[in-house]
């Protein structure tokens, strides 16, 4: 009786999971259709015609098994101005490929921000302290009492960043002067890493000084174990924003593998912006990042040591002295859509997909 009830429950759960996956796919596709309409409205032109739509659907059916994957491919076509065979639609990437590439049990590695310094050493930013279950620890996980913590903060006396483990987006990051920190101001149910606020490399500061501007390096572990760099973009804030993320209105420029920047920037929707920063006037083509290859090598090597997941998005800044420093690594949803449209197809080899 009991076993049969449990069995029935599991069957029902499976059916509901399938249903919710369908709903999520439908929701994502509606998003793609909305975004495409918005893009067309903004640019005032559409490149999609009946013939291209037919080509897109035929490609979706051939490569992904269903024409239903057409909306993201159509969106990419509008963004790029032409259809490129080889693209992977975002819904397929998120709901079909990512669970295979980054299995759920290993996906949380990158969310445990308070382990980053332990894992990556000085490539990560050395924390000032940690808050774990309401207790305070120094960067070596030695317990700090309140008196020692306050002493440490008083010695530091500068701007700090408070980041949540399992935080998502910019909302769970706080900037605070160390003198303003008070014990018990953090939620004891959440773990935090408290880092120095990074003063960034001169050129990046000239580009836009109000946000820490970060490189997103997306690495992909191939089946032979080698790690490829799929793309590199530099993100920066605009219009007084303190954050560089695209979702918060930031812009980005692409870098090629030789470290040369593109001449134009893009926003989160893939609209082409100007050739110079809209606030500082910095010309993107003039950006020179001498430590670019070092950034690439650090990300590639770090991925090599975490082969559990195949796709990782590394957020790397460059500090005042020119040293690349890891801000975070994304193993949960390191997926790409606008990047695929603008710079892709990034993964054309079907052998590597499954």
Partner 1 sequence: MIDFLANIYFRLEGSMEGLIRRLQIMDTRMNLRSNRRRIVRLKGGSVINRKLKKVIKDYARERFGSSSYWPGIALAAEMRGEYKHGWIPFDYYYYVLEPKFNPPGYANIGDIKTLDYSRFGDFAIKPLFMYISDMFYDADFEPVGEQELLRSLAAYDDTIVVKPEFGWGGKQVMVIHSSEFKAEQLQRGTNFIIQPFLKQYKTLNELYPDSVNTFRVYTFRKKDGSVEAPLCYLRFGVDGSRVDNMSSGGECLHIDPTGKPAKTGFDYWGMKTQEHHKNTGFRYADLEIPMFTDIIESCTSIHRKYPHVRLIGWDICVDESGSPRLIEWNTQRASFDWEDALFGPFFPDNSEF
Residues that bind partner 1 (CB under 8 A): 2, 5-6, 9, 12-13, 16, 19-20, 23-24, 26-27, 30, 105-106, 108, 111-112, 114, 118, 132-133, 135, 137, 140-143, 165-166, 191, 221, 223-226, 304-305, 307-308, 310
Whose Cβ is closer to partner 1: residue 41's or residue 224's? 224
| 3-state DSSP helix/strand/coil % of the chain, to nearest 5 | 45, 20, 35
CB 174 → partner 1: shortest distance, Å? 20
Whose Cβ is closer to partner 1: residue 39's or residue 137's? 137
Phi and psi torsions of 337, nearest 5°:
-130, -60
Phi and psi torsions of 102, nearest 5°:
-120, 85
By the 8 A CB rule, do 313 and 102 touch? Answer: no
CB 120 → partner 1: shortest distance, Å? 11
By the 8 A CB rule, do 161 and 174 touch? Answer: yes
Whose Cβ is closer to partner 1: residue 122's or residue 158's? 122
Which residue in 194, 155, 189, 191 sits closest to 174, CA to CA?
Answer: 194
Q: In the chain, what is the straight-line distance between the N-terminal and C-terminal CA atoms, in Å?
A: 40
- Assigned token pair, 62: 């051939």
CB 130 → partner 1: shortest distance, Å? 8
β-strand partners of 325: 317
Whose Cβ is closer to partner 1: residue 35's or residue 165's? 165
What sign does the CA torsion over 58, 59, 61, 62 have?
positive
CB 350 → partner 1: shortest distance, Å? 17
Whose Cβ is closer to partner 1: residue 91's or residue 165's? 165
Whose Cβ is closer to partner 1: residue 115's or residue 271's? 115
Which residue in 109, 31, 48, 26 sits closest to 332, CA to CA?
Answer: 109
CB 28 → partner 1: shortest distance, Å? 10
Whose Cβ is closer to partner 1: residue 4's or residue 157's? 4
CB 165 → partner 1: shortest distance, Å? 7
Whose Cβ is closer to partner 1: residue 135's or residue 185's? 135
CB 217 → partner 1: shortest distance, Å? 19
CB 348 → partner 1: shortest distance, Å? 21
Helix (H) or strand (E) holding 230: strand 227-236
Which residue in 189, 129, 197, 192 sits closest to 164, CA to CA?
Answer: 192
CB 227 → partner 1: shortest distance, Å? 10
Residues 6 or more apart in contact with residue 110 via CB below 8 angstroms: 309, 312, 328, 329, 330, 331, 332, 334
Whose Cβ is closer to partner 1: residue 42's or residue 100's? 100
By the 8 A CB rule, do 324 and 316 touch? Answer: yes
Phi and psi torsions of 42, nearest 5°:
-70, -40
**What DSSP assignment string belongs to 235-248?**
EE--TT-S---GGG
């Amino acid at each position: 009786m009991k076993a049969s009830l449990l069995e029935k429950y599991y069957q029902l759960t499976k059916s509901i999971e399938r249903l919710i996956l369908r709903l999520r796919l439908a929701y994502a596709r509606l998003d793609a259709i909305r975004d495409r309409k918005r893009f067309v409205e903004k640019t005032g032109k559409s490149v999609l015609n009946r013939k291209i739509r037919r080509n897109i659907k035929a490609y979706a059916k051939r490569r992904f098994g269903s024409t239903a994957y057409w909306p993201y491919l159509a969106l990419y076509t509008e963004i790029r101005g032409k259809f490129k065979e080889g693209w992977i639609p975002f819904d397929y990437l998120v709901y079909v490929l990512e669970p295979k590439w980054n299995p759920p049990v290993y996906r949380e590695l990158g969310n445990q921000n308070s382990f980053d310094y332990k894992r990556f050493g000085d490539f990560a930013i050395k924390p000032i302290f940690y808050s774990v279950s309401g207790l305070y620890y120094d960067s070596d996980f030695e317990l700090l009492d309140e008196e020692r913590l306050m002493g440490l903060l008083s010695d530091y006396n500068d701007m700090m960043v408070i980041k949540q483990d399992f935080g998502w987006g910019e909302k769970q990051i706080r900037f605070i002067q160390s003198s303003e920190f008070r014990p018990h101001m953090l939620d004891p149910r959440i773990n935090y890493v408290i880092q120095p606020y990074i003063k960034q490399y001169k050129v990046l500061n000239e580009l836009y000084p109000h946000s820490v501007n970060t490189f997103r390096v997306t690495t992909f572990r191939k089946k032979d174990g080698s790690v490829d760099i799929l793309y590199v973009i530099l993100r920066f804030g605009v219009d007084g924003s303190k954050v560089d993320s695209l979702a918060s209105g930031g812009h980005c420029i692409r870098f090629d593998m030789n470290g040369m920047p593109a001449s134009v920037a893009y926003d989160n929707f893939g609209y082409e912006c100007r050739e110079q920063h809209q606030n500082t006037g910095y010309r993107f083509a003039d950006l020179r990042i001498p430590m670019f290859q070092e950034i690439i090598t650090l990300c590639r090597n770090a991925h090599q040591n975490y082969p559990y997941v195949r796709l990782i998005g590394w957020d790397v800044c460059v500090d005042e002295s020119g040293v690349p420093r890891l801000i975070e690594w994304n193993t949960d949803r390191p997926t790409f859509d606008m990047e695929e449209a603008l710079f892709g197809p990034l993964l054309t080899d079907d052998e590597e997909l499954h």
